[in-house]
Each structure stands twice: as C-alpha cells, then as structure tokens.
Amino acid sequence: MCALILPFTLFLGVFVFPFLMLVVGFFYRWFTIAGRSSTWGMRMIGIELRDGDGMRYQSKMALKHTAAYTVCVIFAPLQLVSAIAMCLSDRKQGLPDILLGTTALNRPAV
C-alpha cells in the first residue's frame, strides 16, 4: 500500500517512508480488524480476535488493540516482552492481548 501511495507524494515520501509505513499500517490494521475482527492475513489462516466476552471487535476495541500493538512494534523491548509472554502464558497471548483482556483464536467453522 505504501508503494502505491509513494508516487502521490511526488516521491517526497521516501524521506519519511518508515513513518508512512507506520501510519498506513496502523489504519490498515484498525479498519480491517474493526470490520471483521481480523486483518486480511489473519483471515487467510483462520485467526480471529475476540474481546473478554467472546465477542468480535468493534471499532473502539480495534483501535485500542491496534494502538497497543503499534506501541509494541515501535519499542523493541516491548516487542520482546510480548514474544516472551506468547511463549510462556497459558493462553499464548501477546502484551496487547494481556493488557486488554482479549485473545486470538481459530475462526469458528461456518
């Protein structure tokens, strides 16, 4: 998506490409998770995010989860803590899931 946006910035986006990727990735993740509780990649492999009540994410929860995920991606130590939590926790949750009381699960068969 960033490569498609780049020409519209008259290639000035090259100078801020990491920031551009962060912003585009944030909105992609937020809107796709808010729409069907998973990104396109999650849908392809059958993963869905659910809140503490077992319900699909709404826009507000998708925004919170995306913000927490983005902060973890920006700061490497938080990403490391998240990876360790996934390995050691019973429910294999990352840091954003632990903080929000949510989980990722295999999509129910329809």
For residue range 43-53, what is the model confidence (pLDDT) as tens digits? Answer: 888 889 998 88
Identify the pLDDT of residue 107.
Answer: 75
- Please determine, for residue 54, whether its predicted confidence score (pLDDT) is greater than 70: yes
Phi then psi dihedrals of residue 50, to 5 deg: -135, 150
* Structure token pair of residue 60: 């507000």
Count of domains observed in the chain: 1
Q: Is residue 44, in this structure, part of any structural domain at all?
A: yes
Identify the pLDDT of residue 69.
Answer: 93
**Entry pTM:** 0.80
Phi then psi dihedrals of residue 4, to 5 deg: -75, -35
Domain that holds residue 85: 17-106
Q: Is residue 30, in this structure, part of any structural domain at all?
A: yes
